[in-house]
Structure 1
């Protein structure tokens, strides 16, 4: 499977009972449906990519699902609890793509996060 953002090879995560993948180049994460909670609990171990690289690739949208066949477009979503986090989700297989650093950010709930959420830009 190829990364929907940079077209590099996606590699299996080394966790038991997990089907999710990490990009070998940009370190984005393809999270299989139902695995998000487990991966958030292991975010520091799983989301090892550079946040600056993730921010660069976060600007790329209109990407296709790496899991579904055909040209299924991923939908840009906002984390309701932390609206500064934007990820992509498939409306068919319900997998999610997180750019490097986004899953780690999802796992953090600090005062700084709360203040950053107050100033989160609106999606257009």
Structure 2
């Protein structure tokens, strides 16, 4: 595999493994690259939030970075919002379907809770 660089800060991406699933994490800003379906698979595996060692404040800072390219195929990535957790913004590659979470976002994504679900159901309700 070619050496990958962080799409946000250009730091090196290191391989980290949890439950035999290999992801890439930036050694600088601690953002995480997931190949297609890895984030969804890891969301269901207990303890996988330990992959996300970064500080949410750092991740929030990197949310401000504009257009980024996929670290795998160099395609311009699309900004996405998690429907049940609209405070989580991440980037997805329209070609290889990889996902980039900034520091703290995967842990937050994994900890979707009852209140997130309630907000999703009733967020558009009028009084």
TM-score (norm 1): 0.83
**Greater share of strand:** 2
Aligned residue in 2 for 1:67? 72
Cα deviation, 1:7-61, whole Å, max 9, x if unaligned, reads: 0000111324323210000000001112112322344211110111010011112
Cα deviation, 1:54-82, whole Å, max 9, x if unaligned, reads: 100111120001000xx410000000111
1:79 to 73, 78, 82: 82
Stretches of structure 2 lacking an aligned partner (at least 5 in a row): none
- Against the structure 1 CA distance between its residues 111 and 20, is the aligned structure 2 distance closer, same or farther, given a 3 Å change threshold? same
Question: Number of residues paired by the alignment?
Answer: 117
- Against the structure 1 CA distance between its residues 99 and 116, is the aligned structure 2 distance closer, same or farther, given a 3 Å change threshold? farther
Stretches of structure 1 lacking an aligned partner (at least 5 in a row): 119-124
Q: Secondary structure at the match of 1:13?
A: strand
Highest Rg: 1 or 2?
2
Aligned residue in 1 for 2:91? 88
RMSD: 2.1
Aligned residue in 1 for 2:5? 2
TM-score (norm 2): 0.81
